[in-house]
Structure 1
């Protein structure tokens, strides 16, 4: 994913939908509101939290939906 997209920030629910961890934006919002969504192992507080370059760890972001579904996003600079 290009670094430019993370300069302004991407709402967490959109990121979960676009990576395929949820089937819709509404499902992503419900997942986040129910406490089942994580960024780098930390629970997301609200569905509209902006995911930015500040969330990068070693050039990547790990998304988790529930206990077993993961997605790694590697950032291209």
Structure 2
């Protein structure tokens, strides 16, 4: 799980990643690269649903994705 006070931001971050990924698809981003991004993204909802607190891991994994794919605005929005 992600702590209650961060849950809405976590869900919004996943939503923002979906929107960015769709935009990349429309920009003819390579299919293999999109698949790799989706592979990484799919773990985030699982962390939100875990029984034990996964907030710190969610945050570090989100940061990893945002840095790797140059989505700093998503990380900043999550952190605000």
For this structure pair, what is the TM-score category when the shorter chain's length is used for normalisation? 0.3 to 0.5
**Which structure shows the higher strand fraction?**
1
User: Which has the bigger relative contact order, CA under 8 A and spacing at least 6?
Assistant: 2
Higher radius of gyration, 1 or 2: 2
TM-score for both structures, normalised by structure 1: 0.34
**Which structure shows the higher helix fraction?**
2
